[in-house]
Chain A
Amino acid sequence: MLKLSNISMEFGALKTLNDLSIELKEKEIVSVIGPNGAGKTTLFNVITGLYKPTSGSVKLGSQEMLGLSPAEINRAGIARTFQNVRLFLNMSVLENVMSATFGRTRSGLFSSALGLKRSRKEEAEVKEKAQELLKFFGTRLTGYRWDQPAFSLSYANRRRLEIARALATDPKVLLLDEPAAGMNPKETQEITEIVGSLRAERGLTILIIEHDMHVVEGVSDRVVALDYGVKIAEGDFDHVATHPDVVEAYLGKGSTATK
């Protein structure tokens, strides 16, 4: 489904990603782990078209993503969330989700201004779709919440809203950047379940960056470990977690790891 081949990303003399190749099959859930500065978010930025890599290729199915604008990449089927939750803070919860349907809708300036039937119909559909997506998270983001500005949400709710917003773009591949960061155990458990159901119910292929090993363990089919922009291990969770290079990257030389 998603194939990254020999991605290298250089910022001047700094090589953030070094000949990286990762492949995701359809409906796979893969976690990317690694110490801070390993290049994980940079990887996401390359995939979504925010950075242009120095070399390599990103293929969604058979379509090359490199060179497309972020909006085009999104419309091709790749969506993401952000490490530091970038919502449209001054817009309402519902509007945040509705706004992401832009790439899938067509009402232009004139048809909206004139109030044409197809415009109205599309608007109603968009609203309904957004409401459905928000119901996915239970009752927290429903009801009167829809019209609340996004900045009024608690941290956990903001993360959930961000996922809902990404889902509104009808993606095939979902990139989640540290979805469980800053969450308490109960919320973390929820996120794990949500990621699972995103694959089960919606057939998404998911790439997750995570630090919380409980999430990684509970969710991943495969784990990829990065350090200094290089893949240092790949495999199932047990294999990677006990891999000597991974342990060294996280804990330093001479450490051993147990679960």
Chain B
Amino acid sequence: MDYLGQQLINGLTLGGVYALIALGYTLVYGVLQILNFAHGDVYMIGAFLGFFAMTWLGGPLAPTVPVALMLLVMFLIAMMGTGLLGIVIERFAYRPLRNSTRIAPLISALGVSILLQNGALLIFSPSIRSYDTSSYIPSTLGFSVGELTIDSVRLGVLVLSAVLMILLTKWVNGTQVGRAMRAIAYDKDAAVMMGIDVDRVIRWTFFVGAALAGAAGVMNGLLLRGVSSGMGLIPGLKGFTAAVIGGIGSVPGAMLGGLLLGVIESLAQGYLSTNFADTITFILLITFMLFRPNGILGRPMMVKV
């Protein structure tokens, strides 16, 4: 029972990170109907930005500021940076293709992904930078409930992802920009006629989605204790998967999908073999997609003939 509980906690932590990445995919798909393949690499850049922020503040071994502040700065810089990157990508790789064929933005996204990955490779070199989390966040800061332990890093990640998700939901439902975004996702032409500044809202959407990915990047950097230029590929794929299971275009769907994916993966790793965990996850996904391509909370597309 406790093993299960432990797996669940790990799963939820992992799921929180996936959920944040998934949100970026879903938000962009909602407004532009494109699959932003470059999203995973934005996540990677976020991890790097966090890393450099950390080194700038003295690094894990000799921080010049209190640890909490350092973490805060890391997240802020990463999120701001990736947010801006998101806006730049939208402006130069997607905006010119607004009226183009369906496949053009996908290919462009592919190109951006390659550029980001190799640009990072060029600038940062292939070595893995170590976050060396354990040396400055003492694991004793975690707590235990019965036999279940959750170390401080995991706890922090879990809490932060929850906070971010709550903030995002408020943004989507409460603010004017958020509502405008939902309007555009529902019917872009009508939104334009209602006087919504579509360009501005899309920019915000990209900013928010990318910033969330950046946060996820820093989180995963802390959890996995390292960053590398290729680290965006698999989490990007998984975040994307999560968005799809939850129903691409649906914000609560992305969150649900992310958490679900994290838990499934954790359980598969814990109970079935670690070797086949990824395979099994993907097979489950495929089966799921075949029976419910719209995902759990997605809306089926009605096409007028």
Contact = CB atoms under 8 A, between A and B. Distances in A.
Tell me, yes or no, whether A and B come into direct contact in the complex with CB atoms closer than 8 A.
yes
Contacts of B305: 41, 45, 50, 82
B104 to A, nearest CB: 15
A50 B305 CA distance: 9
Nearest to A82: B305
Interface in A75-98: 82
A170 B172 CA distance: 54
B271 to A, nearest CB: 42
A41 B304 CA distance: 10
A45 B303 CA distance: 12
A45 B4 CA distance: 52
A45 B305 CA distance: 8
A50 B303 CA distance: 11
Interface in A82-119: 82
Main secondary structure of the interface of B (DSSP, over half): loop
A41 B305 CA distance: 8
B189 to A, nearest CB: 16
Contacts of A45: 305
Contacts of A41: 305
Interface in A37-52: 41, 45, 50
A137 B305 CA distance: 27
B295 to A, nearest CB: 20
A50 B304 CA distance: 11
B261 to A, nearest CB: 32
Interface in A43-66: 45, 50
A116 B127 CA distance: 59
Interface string B268-305: 00000000000000000000000000000000000001
Nearest to A11: B302
Contacts of A82: 305
Contacts of A50: 305
A78 B305 CA distance: 17
A49 to B, nearest CB: 11
Nearest to B303: A50
Nearest to B302: A11
B287 to A, nearest CB: 25
Interface string B132-146: 000000000000000
Interface in B3-43: none
Interface string B93-127: 00000000000000000000000000000000000
Interface string A107-137: 0000000000000000000000000000000
A151 to B, nearest CB: 13
Interface in B129-187: none
A82 B305 CA distance: 8
B99 to A, nearest CB: 15
A258 to B, nearest CB: 36
Nearest to A48: B305
A231 to B, nearest CB: 22
A82 B303 CA distance: 14
Nearest to A44: B305
A56 to B, nearest CB: 19
Interface of B: 305
4 contacts: A41-B305, A45-B305, A50-B305, A82-B305
The 4 closest A-B pairs by CB, nearest first: A45-B305, A50-B305, A41-B305, A82-B305
